[in-house]
Amino acid sequence: MNQTTNGTKQRHYVESVLNSIINMGYDNETAKKMFLDNYRIVKRRYGFGPNAENFAKEIIDLDTISKIKYDPNNPDMIDLRKIRKRIKETKKYGKDHS
């Protein structure tokens, strides 16, 4: 019975977060996609601690940040392509391979 109560609470929380994203000016489909793409990351970091509106803001911020493309002319940006390549190689060959 306790698990059902927790599941119901989580469902209501998720619905509130989705409604908050929609209330911030996003259409229903965009809100769902944004939520599904970023939900796990935000939940792992914050859990269900923040209220639904703050959780929605975190999802929107993460979605916005993830869409920024690298601009070599911008001195404030860091080129992560070499680092990403190194991470992929490390995962592929294991930690001992240099």
Domain annotation covers residue 8: yes
Residue 34 identity (one-letter amino acid): M
Query: How many domains, the chain?
Result: 1
Taking alpha carbons only, the member of 64, 24, 62 closest to residue 43 is 62
Percent of the chain, pLDDT > 90?
A: 27
Percent of the chain, pLDDT > 70?
A: 88
What pLDDT score does 94 carry? 61
Q: Quick check: 90 pLDDT over 60?
A: yes
Domain annotation covers residue 29: yes
Mean pLDDT (the chain) is 82
Q: Containing domain of residue 60, as a range? A: 2-69
Domain annotation covers residue 81: no
Region of poorest pLDDT, from 9-13, 20-24, 60-64, 90-94: 90-94
Domain annotation covers residue 7: yes
Q: Quick check: 1 pLDDT over 60?
A: no
Domain annotation covers residue 84: no
Give the residue ranges of DSSP H helices in the chain.
2-23, 28-46, 52-66, 81-93
